[in-house]
Amino acid sequence: MSSRSFKQDLTCVFGQPVAENPTQAMIEAAYRHHGLDWRYLTIEVAPDDLGDAVRGLRAMGFRGGNLTIPHKVAVIEHLDGLTEAAEKIGAVNCMVWQGEGDDRKLIGENTDGKGFVESLREVTDPAGKSVVMFGAGGAARAIGVELALAGTTSFTVVNRTEQRGLELAKRLRDKTKAKAEFVHWEGDFAIPEGTDVVVNSTSIGLFPDVDARLALDVSTLTEGMVVADVIPNPPETNLVRDARDRGCTVLDGLGMLVNQGVIGFRLWTGVDPDPSVMRAALEEVFGE
Ligand code: NDP
């Protein structure tokens, strides 16, 4: 008789489209590295099927999972509760189990902003900083709220669509102690003097539109600034190149992607994964 188990512990991502999401490569590299017989499945789920998919995840004993576009807000009604950060952000990208037995609850967490803050901490402390943020979508919301919870004092939200930008500035003022103003994005934006951190949280530069450039007066990027891009694919965006040429401290989107994966991994398995293994797996995917 063999004592070998043929049953792996399961985790997943639900999204649509989802086939090009590289998270499996990063997470499974870490499962192997840490000797865990776990799997991370990339599962296409249509919006109308999301409730059934979450019930399936519960029924089949998944240990946790991620949500990506278009499920980050819609999933909330199918969960048993939210963490404080996910509630403030208004979106969930990570499902985790809390409690034991009958008290076990499937909780929505948001690791996007935390992943960003962790990669920023590698170069500067967010506390007391003044931040210019391009974009006001899901990634911007998560980054803004987590930066504010980490002590960032002021935000300038620059967005093409007025309504979304106004909503994010209001969310930051209402849900955190930070100051936040909205600027409508028209023409090349000039970064105000005294800005510490500039964040691209739009999808500008994302594959396949790799030559796209932010409408930004590049001459206003100065040496003391940290410039961070959320775009993971390709990590070397025009903004990353321009900011490096201007002598800024630069963070690419892989740092955020790896760090949010590290947090999810830890929440699901209880094991602190090696981020360098996860980054190497992504660099292989993106052919760096
Ligand atoms: P959303 O669709 O919610 O928001 C997109 C944002 O980009 C909006 O503010 C939108 O402006 C803006 N935008 C898009 N195209 C343009 C354009 N041509 N000109 C000006 N503004 C534009 O997307 P998400 O917030 O979920 O994702 C944004 C990016 O973040 C994606 O590229 C995604 O890959 C990346 N991301 C990276 C992560 C990482 O770990 N590195 C994690 C999560 C996301 P408007 O409101 O006017 O439409």
CA dist 64 and 12 (Å) reads 7
How many residues can be counted in the chain? 288
Nearest CA to ligand 1 atom 12: 202
pTM, full prediction = 0.93
Mean pLDDT of 219-247: 96
Mean pLDDT of 182-187: 97
Q: Which domain holds residue 66?
A: 9-110+255-285
Nearest CA to ligand 1 atom 7: 202
Domain match, 68 and 197 both: no
Indicate the SS3 state at residue 212: coil
Q: At 109, which amino acid appears?
A: E
Domain match, 137 and 24 both: no
Domain match, 62 and 156 both: no
CA dist 191 and 185 (Å) reads 12
Cα of 135 from ligand 1 centre, angstroms: 6
Statement: residue 102 has pLDDT above 90: no
Q: Check which CATH number belongs to the domain holding 265 and give it.
A: 3.40.50.10860
Cα of 137 from ligand 1 centre, angstroms: 6
Domain match, 83 and 26 both: yes
The structural domain count of the chain equals 2
Of the candidates 131, 123, 107, 115, the residue with the CA atom closest to the CA atom of residue 194: 131
Domain match, 118 and 194 both: yes
Which tens digit of pLDDT belongs to each residue from 42-99? 999 999 999 999 999 999 999 999 999 999 999 999 999 999 999 999 999 999 999 9
